Structure 1
Amino acid sequence: MKILLGKDSVLKNTGDNTLVIDAVATSCGCTKVEYDKEPVRPGGSVDLHVSYKAEHPEHFNKTITVYCNAKVSPLLLKIMGNAE
C-alpha cells in the first residue's frame, strides 16, 4: 500500500530584489516539490506544492532545501506528520 500526502505552501518575497530560486532539494526521493520557476518580484509569492509518498503507515520528518539568491540561503523547510 502506498500513501500519497500533499501540502501547498507559499514562499513570499519580503525583500527589495527579485527572488530567484536556483534549485530545490529534498531529504529523500519520497518527497517532491513542484513550483513555478519564474523569478518572484518583491512583495510577490510562489506556491510550493509538496508531496510525500509513504510505502506504509508511518511517522515522517523530512527537509526541503531551497537554494536561492536571498541573503539567507539556503532556506530550510520541514514537513512532518503521520501517514495513515
Structure 2
Amino acid sequence: MSSINTTIDQINAASAGMVVFLSVINFVPGLIGVVFNLIVFTRPTLRQEPCSLYFFASTCLDLYVILVVIPVRIVSNGYNLDWA
C-alpha cells in the first residue's frame, strides 16, 4: 500500500504544479484580452447597442475572475494554503 500512496502523492503534486503553471500562463493573455474588450465595448457607437451591454457585463465578470480568482488559485495551489 505504501507504493500506491507514494504514487498518489506524486500525481497530486504534479497536478498542483500544472494548475499553477497553466494559471500563470492564462493570466497575462487573459488580462490583455479583457482590457481590449473593455476598450471596444465602451466605444460610443457600441454603447447604444443592447447586446454590447451584455458583453460588457461579461467582460467585467471576466476581469474579476482574472484579477481575483486566478491569483487566489495560484497561491492556494502553489503554497498549499487552504482558505476554506
TM-score interval (norm. to shorter): under 0.3
TM-score by length of structure 2 reads: 0.24
TM-score by length of structure 1 reads: 0.24
CA radius of gyration, larger in:
2
Greater per-residue helix proportion = 2
Greater per-residue strand proportion = 1
